[in-house]
Every structure is written in structure tokens, then in C-alpha cells.
Structure 1
Amino acid sequence: MGQMNELAHRRASKTIKLVDASGTPVKGKEVIFKQTNHQFLFGCGLFEAVEVANRNVPEDRLAFLEQGVDQFLEIFNFATLPFYWENFEPEKGKPRTRELKAAAQWLKDRNIVVKGHPLCWHTLTAPWLLDMSNEEILKAQFARIERDVSDFKGLIDMWDVINEVVIMPIFDKYDNGITRISNDLGRVGIIKEMFAKTREFNPEATLLLNDFNTSINYEILIDGCLQAGIPIDAIGIQSHQHQGYWGREKLEEVLERFSQFGLPIHFTENTLTSGHLMPPEIVDLNDYQPIDWPSTPEFEARQAKEVEEMYSILFKHKLVKGITSWSFSDDGAWLGAPAGFIRKDNSPKPAYDVLKKLIKGNWFTNVTQITDDHGIVSFEGFLGEYDLICDGKKVSFHLNEESDTALMVLTEKRIGSRIM
């Protein structure tokens, strides 16, 4: 019972009055409540979905990618797609809209919530911005948001609006258009402009501010944004742990500090490797990209333990609404790090099995109850989507925090091999 009490905010009770098509109560019948999806967002960076959806790779490669993505679909309900401007629109006026739309639709058809990442970032931004004045760069960035947010509305209704603003104005690795305009506008200024423009073209979207910097500087920036009236829907926290697992103490300390704002928290880019750790003296993670970074049995066992602990801590925290691992597969992973849940050959790691047991086992609901003489039945379960199955018939519904009594009608639509 201890774990259930800790997870009370992830669960709800529901009372249902079950009637048949004529309105007669369904008495003394066995009812199965089978969860089909979580309300909590368990996700990964899944850039390979672009190739799978567009089928624009050789057949053997496509079959390999499909095998990996099928394993993703067994556990996860949330995916991040890449909108890095340099790759999305390498030539001005020729965005990869069709390809990304196909991927977003493919995921949505499989009941996966999709997030776009990111709309504004100084890294991997369009190189052709450098030929423009700062005023023209800002107009181009606005036009990019208008186009992409409008084009993907209904397919992608969640965005990392602006990425890594703490370092943005002082970024000095190379010249880029976005750092230029962030210098003009200031940190809070550029965030305000980008959020306003995104909100204008999708008022119902969930908009995130995202950063790898978890110091007080990010806290100050968020506070400044809120003081300026910027409607941030969720705080994005990157947790790339190539140099070692944060551990419970740091994780809980970060959660405590960023909970002060009372906003939903997403762990947007979570990395736990199943290989050797990056040397501690590396400051910019991009500076360490070895030729070979193998996944080993010893370190896979470590990764599995860290995944189990970290996900359990985050799922228990009331403000955390989603966790995205970066990424699902070791094949093509960022920096070549073995940070996925499946190896380069698509075989699942222990971390995959551990997470599947948590998400589809410990934190999943599948219970059977009996209706009373009034057709009333109650159950308690984890928040999310459900099928109610009774007498070979099915009703789908969403279990949310509201605990009102619902009237549900069993229709003649039957499940399994029965008549539809």
C-alpha cells in the first residue's frame, strides 16, 4: 500500500452506471477495466519515425527501423520529432514539411502524443540567416513559427518553443542568427516574443521553455518570464547524464527548486548510458565523441538500476508530467553514446525490460469487478485511457482526476472475434 499512497495523485476512482441499449441496468455482470494508455507522458526522441513513415530508405534498413519502432510502441505514448531549422529548412523556402507531417500523422495514428523540438534555438539554426540583418532574422524566425505551428496544428500541439536561452546570448562557439537577435532582445525579451508568436497560431498548444542549465540562472530566467507575464505551460529540464547519474539527492534537489513556480515539469531530454562514462573534465558534452562507445553487460545493469530509480522518483512527483529519453535506440544516438533502451542491433537492454515492467505492469491497471443490482460498478486505477469490457462489448473512456458517476451504455458493437 505504501507505493500506492505515494502515487495517489496518479490514480483516481470512478463509479459507473452501466445500462444496455434500452436503458436497462446491466446487473450482476463481470466488468473488466483494461487500461490502454497512460495520462502521464512516457516518451523518447524518435527521429527514426521520419524514415519509417516516409519509407524513404532501403528495404532492409526500413525493416530494421520498423522492428525498433515496434518495440517503442510496446511501452511509450509520447515522441519528440526534430525541427532543427538547419535540417528542417536547409534551403530557404524549402522546408521538410511533408516528411515531418507524415511522421507526425503516423505517430498520431498509433495514439502517440507528438512534440516538436525546437522552434527557436541558436544551435543547428538556419545558416542562411547570417546573410540577413537582425531585423530580417527576427522576421524570418516569426515567419518560421507562423508557418510550422500552423501547418502542424492538430498533429503537433506541444512545442519546445525556445531552447537553451540561458547560454543563448553569450554562445560563442560560432556566429549564428539567433544569438544575434537574442543579444538585441535580451533573454526574457526573446522568450516573450517567441511564446507570443507560437500562442498566436495555436492558442491551445502546450508550450515549453527548455534548458540544460539547471543552476539558479535558469530559475532567475523563469522567474523573470513569469514576472513579465509570459504564459509558460511547462518547464523543460534536460538531464543528459553522460558523465554519470545525478542520483536521488541531486534529482530531488532539482525538483524542489523548480517546483517553486508551481508549473508542470517535463524532463525533456534524459540520458543514462549503458557504456563508460564521459570524463568529468569535459565541459561541453559535444567535445567528447569517441570513435567507439560500446554498451556492455556491466554498464547495462547499471543503466537499468538508474532508470528504475529515476523514473520512480519522477513519477512520484506531483508536478512532473512527462519524461523523454534521448533517445530510444543506440542506433544514431546523440554523440554516439549508448543511451537507448535497445542496442544497435535492436535487441532490448535490461533497462527496456525494467521500464516495461513499471509502465505496463506496476503502474498499469487491469481489474475485474461485478455490477450490482442497479448496474453500478466502481474501480480505482491509474489515470489514462481505458476499455470497459462486459459481455463481449466494449466502451472506451478516459479516467481523469474527476470522480463523478458516469452513465455508460453498452452497444451492440462487439470485440474480439464477435460481430462488429
Structure 2
Amino acid sequence: MNRNKIMCSFREQADMMEDRINLGIESNRKGYIRLNFIDSEGKPINGVSVKIRQKSHHFKFGCNLFKYKCFDSEEENLLYEQKFLGLFNLAVAPFYWNDFEPQKGKPRFEKDSVWIDRRPPSEAVLEFCAENSIEAKGHPLFWPVMSPEWLPENWDGLKHYITKRLKEIATRYDGVIKSFDCINEATTVVLRDHEPHIIEGHYRNFNPLSGNYPEWVFKQTDRFFAESRLVLNETTALSWGSYNKELSNYYLLAEKLIKSGCRVDTIGLQYHNFCAPDNMEELANWAYNPIRLFKVMDCYGNLQRPLSVSEITVPGYDDDMQAEVLYNLYRIWFSHPNMESIIYWNLGDNCAIKKNETWTEQKYMSGLVRNDFSEKPSYKVLDRLINKEWQTNAEYDSRENFLYAKCFYGKYEIEVCKGNTRIKKEIDFTPTGYDEFYIVL
């Protein structure tokens, strides 16, 4: 594995990359706020001291929470939670149908549901999110690859149970869970006309499907979910790999669904580098190529929908290289005007799929922390970006009765002092919300 060859596109394109990153972050992730200082009668007050402290991001930095309360010891569970909270403001809750409802008619909503590794019950995940002011995302509502064995082996029968599942989940969680991956990997799952066999690989559907099932599922979902955002989610190969501008298969599917009236709120672009060390140079030709990455985002941005890098795996064969890759990737993604969230997949090396009949992910060592929860360089890099470089914390002395400040979008605590008077106010600064606020002393 030749690190110089793997990283060559980042380095050869550094001037263009840094220019677009810096311009993009300044114009897309920050804005100007105006603070007006007045007394209780509305009269202006001059000569105040101001402290601006960012409390949270508007942009979503996420990770799956699949290993919540799934470790052998309470110490490990606590370390997992601490490392998660150190970086992320969005948590992905598992809704894989085979483990969510292994027994027909008995969905695993409640915290006391039967324990399944990497599949904490939804109520447990939501409790953690509520306690820590984290947004929840559900994954997925429908994915043929992980369906329960009790489903009927015909499309008409299957539609009945899909509808029932959507209604049950929506009754509890519409608007509570802010977004769901509605359809997962539709352009990757093979639509077979014969009974599948276990040896046929990871991407196999256990039930006959209509070729129009994505449209049908989206429209059924829209019947029950009025508030939660619906995401169309697709694999890395179809999102970034086999890119052919507006003729890309995934682009054509998304465009077709939108034109047919489906409520596709967000376009999900997975970014799993499931790649052996010997193949990393070939992968890097497109996956670690800034020009290619920007072109893909620009193209999918033409659909006039927000984008999400919805699942990320970057191999950790070399800790320092993983950190450098993620440093570049996160800045590229964060800078793009259409991007609304970046979601790493497995927090730790011990959080990935170990091995089942057809698939394993632990061999990629892609975690941001090691098995003992010590931080890899990649964790520290993201911590520096998310919690330091991409936050606004500043102090001002204003001679006027107002102050302009350029800030990252997010929630803030504003502290204003005048003599012995000290006032604190919390504001929510968003791209489409208020940009002018009054502080009454």
C-alpha cells in the first residue's frame, strides 16, 4: 500500500481544493448576525462588552448508534457514549426489518425488548438522544436485503406488510425522528425472478419485488409521515463510483421519483471504502479525487434537494493516512452548498459487523477509536474541525449600540455586560431564520 500514490490527487489538486473549501465554508456555513443593545424602554445602549459562545451546530455531524448499551461492561458502554457525544449531534437508530420485527406482529420498540447486538430498541436510542439534545435518524424503512423470514413470497402480499410497518412506525415517530432513509440501495439490490440462495452474496432480495417498488414505497410512506424527512439512500459505487453526470443510474432514479411526485426530501450518498489494502490505489483514483467529489455533489445538487453523505467508512490500515483522508473529505463535504449532513458509520473498530454468512466490516479497521476506546488521529482531527475550527467563540467591546459578527450557523449563548449589569441570551442562528437579535439590559 503506497500512501503517496493513494494521496496523490489530494496533493496535486491542493490549490483548487483549498480554494473551493475556504470559499465554500465562508459563504455556505457562516453568516452575519446583528446584535442590538437596548434598555427596557427600547432606548439604545452604547459601550457594552459582548461574549459570543457557540453551543451547537446547525449542520449535522452524525454516526450510527448501533452499539448503544451493547458492550459487555458498563465501563465500555459509558466510554462509547462519551466518545459519541464528543463529536456528533445526530444519531442513526436501526430499523432493519429482520431484527426490528423478528417475530411477526412484535416490533422491538420498547427498551425492554429482546437484546440483539448492534440493534438497540428504538425507544432506548430516542431516550439517549433526548437526554443529550441529539437529532435522531431512522435507517431504513425499506431495504429488501434485511427482511424477516416470515414475509410472504409474493409482491402483493408483501405490500400489505410494508404498509402496516410504515403505519406503525409513523404513529410513534413521525416528527419525533426527524428523518428516515425511506428506500435503501434500490439501484444496487438485484431484482431476481428466481428463489435466492444464501450463497448468492450480500445483495440478494428474499422476496419478489416490482421494478416500480421505490415509487410505491415512497408514496406509501408519504401517506403516514407528514413531518419526518424522507431520504433516498444509495451505495458508494452508484453514488460516487459509477458517476456519469446526469446519466448516472442513481441520478436517473432520483430524478424519476421526484418527477413522479414522490417526496424525496434528501439525496443520500453513501461513502463506504470497503477496500482491501492492495486495492486502495485504484479506489483513490475517484474516491480521493477532489475534482471528482465536487463534480458529483454539483451534479446531484441540480436535483434541488439537500445532500447527505449518509454512511462513511474509511479504512484504518494506516492511522495517519485515515486522519488525513478524513480531514480532506470532511472539509470538502462541509463546504458544499447542498450538503446538510455528514454521517460516519462505525464509531469504533469494535462497532462494525464482525462476520455473518456473507459479510464483515471489522477487517477494515475503520473506527475513529480503537477497541479500548482510545482516540485515533482521525477522531482528534474531527474533534479539531467540529469543535474548534468550525465554531465561533469571540469577545467584543462595542462602542455603538449594535454589533455585527460573522458566525457559523448554530445555537449561541450571547453574554452582554454594561457596568454591573450582565445579561445572557440564547439565540438560534440558521441560514433561513432571523439574523438580527435584540439584547435588553
| TM-score interval, normalised by the smaller of the two chains | 0.7 to 0.9
Show the 5 A alignment for 1:12-23.
Answer: 12-21=31-40, 23=42
How far did residue 269 of structure 1 move? 0.7
Q: Please report the RMSD computed on the Cα atoms of aligned residues, expressed in angstroms.
A: 2.5
Q: Is the 8 A contact 1:146 1:197 kept in 2?
A: no
| Counterpart residue type for residue 238 of structure 1 | Q
CA distance in 1, matches of 2:197, 2:303: 32
- Of 373, 388, 398, 1:361 maps to 388
CA distance in 1, matches of 2:337, 2:135: 20
Q: Is the 8 A contact 1:394 1:410 kept in 2?
A: no
- Of 320, 332, 345, 1:301 maps to 320
CA distance in 2, matches of 1:138, 1:178: 15
Structure 1, residues 209-240: CA drift from partner, whole Å, max 9, x if none? Answer: 00102232212211221221212111111111
- Of 272, 285, 306, 1:264 maps to 306
Name the residue aligned to 2:365: 338
Name the residue aligned to 1:238: 270
- Of 322, 326, 332, 2:341 maps to 322
CA distance in 2, matches of 1:196, 1:62: 43
Are positions 1:201 and 2:224 aligned together? yes
Q: Is the 8 A contact 2:52 2:392 kept in 1?
A: yes
- Of 228, 245, 250, 2:260 maps to 228
| Counterpart residue type for residue 19 of structure 1 | I
Are positions 1:387 and 2:428 aligned together? no
CA distance in 1, matches of 2:45, 2:87: 34
How far did residue 108 of structure 1 move? 2.7
Identity %: 26
CA distance in 2, matches of 1:210, 1:127: 24
Q: Is the 8 A contact 1:370 1:377 kept in 2?
A: no
Structure 1, residues 107-139: CA drift from partner, whole Å, max 9, x if none? Answer: 133121111000000112111104x54322111
Name the residue aligned to 2:95: 83
How far did residue 164 of structure 1 move? 0.8
Q: Is the 8 A contact 2:50 2:414 kept in 1?
A: yes
TM-score when normalising by structure 1: 0.82
How far did residue 66 of structure 1 move? 1.4
Q: Is the 8 A contact 2:30 2:408 kept in 1?
A: yes
- Of 29, 35, 48, 1:10 maps to 29
- The 1:409–1:257 alpha-carbon spacing in structure 2 relative to 1, beyond 3 Å, is closer
How far did residue 358 of structure 1 move? 0.9
Structure 2: any 5+ residue segments left out of the alignment? 1-17, 112-121, 243-247, 354-360
- The 1:209–1:405 alpha-carbon spacing in structure 2 relative to 1, beyond 3 Å, is closer
CA distance in 2, matches of 1:148, 1:82: 12
- The 1:19–1:343 alpha-carbon spacing in structure 2 relative to 1, beyond 3 Å, is same
How far did residue 393 of structure 1 move? 3.3
SS at structure 2 position matched to 1:331: helix
Structure 1, residues 308-333: CA drift from partner, whole Å, max 9, x if none? Answer: 01111111111111111111111131
- The 1:222–1:404 alpha-carbon spacing in structure 2 relative to 1, beyond 3 Å, is closer
How far did residue 20 of structure 1 move? 4.7
- Of 121, 131, 148, 1:109 maps to 131
SS at structure 2 position matched to 1:343: coil
Q: Is the 8 A contact 1:158 1:205 kept in 2?
A: yes
Name the residue aligned to 2:60: 41
CA distance in 2, matches of 1:124, 1:316: 34
- The 1:239–1:4 alpha-carbon spacing in structure 2 relative to 1, beyond 3 Å, is closer
Pick which of 357-366 and 246-255 moved more: 246-255
| Counterpart residue type for residue 168 of structure 2 | R
Q: Is the 8 A contact 1:26 1:371 kept in 2?
A: no
Are positions 1:67 and 2:79 aligned together? yes
Show the 5 A alignment for 1:149-228.
Answer: 149-170=170-191, 172=196, 174=198, 180-182=207-209, 184=210, 186=211, 189-212=212-235, 213-214=238-239, 215=242, 216-228=248-260
| Counterpart residue type for residue 225 of structure 2 | N
Q: Is the 8 A contact 2:24 2:337 kept in 1?
A: no
Pick which of 242-251 and 115-124 moved more: 242-251
Q: Is the 8 A contact 1:395 1:408 kept in 2?
A: no
CA distance in 1, matches of 2:410, 2:178: 18
How far did residue 29 of structure 1 move? 1.6
- The 1:359–1:409 alpha-carbon spacing in structure 2 relative to 1, beyond 3 Å, is same
SS at structure 2 position matched to 1:91: coil
Q: Is the 8 A contact 2:35 2:439 kept in 1?
A: no
Q: Is the 8 A contact 2:30 2:407 kept in 1?
A: yes
SS at structure 2 position matched to 1:37: strand
Structure 1, residues 68-116: CA drift from partner, whole Å, max 9, x if none? Answer: 2212212211111111011111111111111311211311331211110
CA distance in 1, matches of 2:349, 2:45: 51
Name the residue aligned to 1:126: 148
Q: Is the 8 A contact 2:53 2:392 kept in 1?
A: yes
| Counterpart residue type for residue 261 of structure 2 | G
Structure 1: any 5+ residue segments left out of the alignment? 276-298, 412-420
Are positions 1:350 and 2:350 aligned together? no
TM-score when normalising by structure 2: 0.79
Name the residue aligned to 1:279: none
